[in-house]
């Protein structure tokens, strides 16, 4: 499959903020830990901000910090914040109209794929940022 690591990056970003506790952390500091550049960090950070997981502040002495305590942030919320496309995708090929299988397979799979992704999210719901920090 593709090589999208945005979700891992987002979790790393939150982990750095958790590490610095209540300080304002700049995108440069996070980029150094992640080994990438501040622009990329800010791009993901703005998604986390939109989702209400972090608070940001521009200007000197600004940066970002967690909006809640680490045991109130689950990996499912992070997933919701940054993963936009379903992981199991149905085809967007035009169906062969005279074939019943071709016409029906898309609809048949959609619900199954959605349920499967939901099960994955339910599992992610069980892990909090706090637990990740304890493993580090």
Binding mask 57-96 for its own copies (x = CB under 8 A): ------------------x-------xxx-xxxxxxxxxx
Partner that binds at residue 26, options its own copies, DNA, none, CB closer than 5 to 8 Å by kind: DNA
Shortest separation between residue 86's beta carbon and its own copies, angstroms: 8
Binding mask 29-48 for its own copies (x = CB under 8 A): ---xxxxx------------
Check residue 78 for interaction with DNA (CB under 7 A): no
Check residue 26 for interaction with DNA (CB under 7 A): yes
Residue 90 DSSP SS3: coil
Beta strands in the chain (DSSP E): 54-57, 63-66
Shortest separation between residue 59's beta carbon and its own copies, angstroms: 25
Query: 86-95 burial, b for 16+ CB within 10 Å, e for fewer?
Result: eeeeeeeeee
Q: Which of 3, 9, 4, 11 is nearest to 135 (CA)?
A: 11
Check residue 2 for interaction with its own copies (CB under 8 A): yes
Tokens representing residue 10 in the block: 């987002």
Shortest separation between residue 68's beta carbon and its own copies, angstroms: 19
8 A C-beta contact, residue 63 and residue 57: yes
């Amino acid at each position: 499959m593709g090589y999208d690591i945005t979700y891992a990056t987002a979790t790393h970003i939150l982990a750095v903020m958790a590490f610095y506790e209540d300080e304002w952390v700049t995108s440069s500091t996070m980029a150094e830990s992640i080994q990438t550049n501040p622009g990329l960090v800010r791009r993901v950070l703005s998604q986390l901000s939109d989702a209400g997981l972090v608070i940001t502040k521009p200007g000197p002495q600004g940066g970002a910090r967690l909006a809640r305590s680490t045991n109130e942030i689950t990996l499912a919320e992070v997933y919701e914040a940054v993963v936009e496309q379903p992981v199991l995708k149905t085809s967007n090929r035009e169906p062969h109209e005279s074939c019943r299988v071709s016409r029906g397979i898309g609809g048949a799979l959609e619900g199954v794929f959605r349920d499967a992704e939901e099960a994955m999210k339910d599992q992610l719901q069980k892990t909090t940022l706090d637990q990740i920090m304890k493993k580090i």
